[in-house]
Amino acid sequence: MSILVIGGAGYIGSHMVKQLSTSGTEVITLDNLSCGYRDAIKYGEFVEGDLGDPAVLDHVFSNYNIDAVMHFAAFIEVGESVSNPAKYYRNNVLNTMVLLDAMIQHDIGDFIFSSTAAIFGEPEYTPIDEKHGKNPINTYGRTKLMVEQILQDYDTAYGLKSTCLRYFNAAARASSSATAILSWRTASTATSAGNAARRSPATGRSRRGICGGCFNS
Ligand SMILES: NC(=O)c1ccc[n+]([C@@H]2O[C@H](COP(=O)([O-])OP(=O)(O)OC[C@H]3O[C@@H](n4cnc5c(N)ncnc54)[C@H](O)[C@@H]3O)[C@@H](O)[C@H]2O)c1
């Protein structure tokens, strides 16, 4: 099995590449190194390029036998997303659509999207679960919610199956700790309980959340 990890030179993506590679999965990393580091890519193949470039995507999908795509490439600064929304909508939404269209063109039907707990906005109750309202309070959160909505429509129309990882701020020791995530899948909803103290990506304040899945980083 071969997985394309986009944003694999970044903080979370590089841990995902390590996890996949050390468990025997073939990994190809695509990253434009705008916020990531070449030195962070220690496993698998690396293609330097932009996820919004159809020629780069065509090259990758034509030259590697990709089974699924994991998408960790985005701009992530809440404050900057408010002062420069064009930058965030362009990279986080428009470029993601270029990627999704290339996947459909190349008949790749499985997608994992690094979303965020910021799609929920201010908690109406805790622990937050999947029934909680989605009301992001900043541009960054809105870009992620837009992609989640696009993914629902792409599932209905084109059969693209996706899972969205809605985590709070990720922090873990590389060797042993677990990173808590709340995941949601277009095909099916799966949530099991587990509380975790987390810092709100929207406000920076600590709060308690619920996590629907965990993976070790
Ligand atoms: N860090 C967290 O606590 C956290 C919490 C919730 C969600 N997320 C989400 O997880 C993902 C990864 O976060 P991170 O903290 O690892 O960020 P990061 O900035 O460390 O990594 C992002 C990577 O994507 C690359 N990238 C950005 N735009 C690109 C483009 N157009 N083409 C190719 N590569 C591009 C960057 O060079 C970088 O290597 C993001 O989508 C973020 O929204 C992160």
Say whether 139 sits in a helix, a strand or coil.
Answer: helix
CA of 74 to the centre of ligand 1 (A): 4
Annotated domain spans of the chain: 2-216
The CATH superfamily assigned to 2-216 is NAD(P)-binding Rossmann-like Domain (3.40.50.720)
Q: How far is it, in rounded angstroms, from Cα 85 to Cα 54? A: 23
Tokens encoding 99: 């990627």
Question: 178 — alpha (psi -120 to 50), left (phi > 0) or beta?
Answer: beta
Q: How far is it, in rounded angstroms, from Cα 98 to Cα 95? A: 5
Judge if the beta carbon of residue 167 lies within 6 A of ligand 1: yes
CA of 11 to the centre of ligand 1 (A): 7
Please work out, in degrees rounded to the nearest 5, the angle formed at the alpha carbon of residue 141 by the alpha carbons of 150 and 74: 75
CB 66 within 8 A of CB 2: yes
Neighbours of 158 (CB within 10 A): 12
CA of 122 to the centre of ligand 1 (A): 22
Instruction: Report whether pLDDT(5) > 90.
Output: yes
Q: How far is it, in rounded angstroms, from Cα 115 to Cα 145? A: 8
At 117 the pLDDT is: 96
Closest to 201 measured CA to CA, from 78, 88, 74, 85: 78
pTM: 0.85
Q: How far from the centroid of its chain's Cα atoms is residue 151's Cα?
A: 12
Residues 35-83 have pLDDT tens digits of 999 999 999 999 999 999 999 999 999 999 999 999 999 999 999 999 9
Neighbours of 89 (CB within 10 A): 17
Judge if the beta carbon of residue 146 lies within 6 A of ligand 1: no
Range in 71-75, 98-102, 165-169 with the lowest mean pLDDT = 165-169
At 175 the pLDDT is: 59
Q: Which atom of ligand 1 is nearest to the CA of 76?
A: 43
Judge if the beta carbon of residue 73 lies within 6 A of ligand 1: yes
Residues 129-162 have pLDDT tens digits of 989 999 999 999 999 999 999 999 999 999 999 9
CB 8 within 8 A of CB 49: no
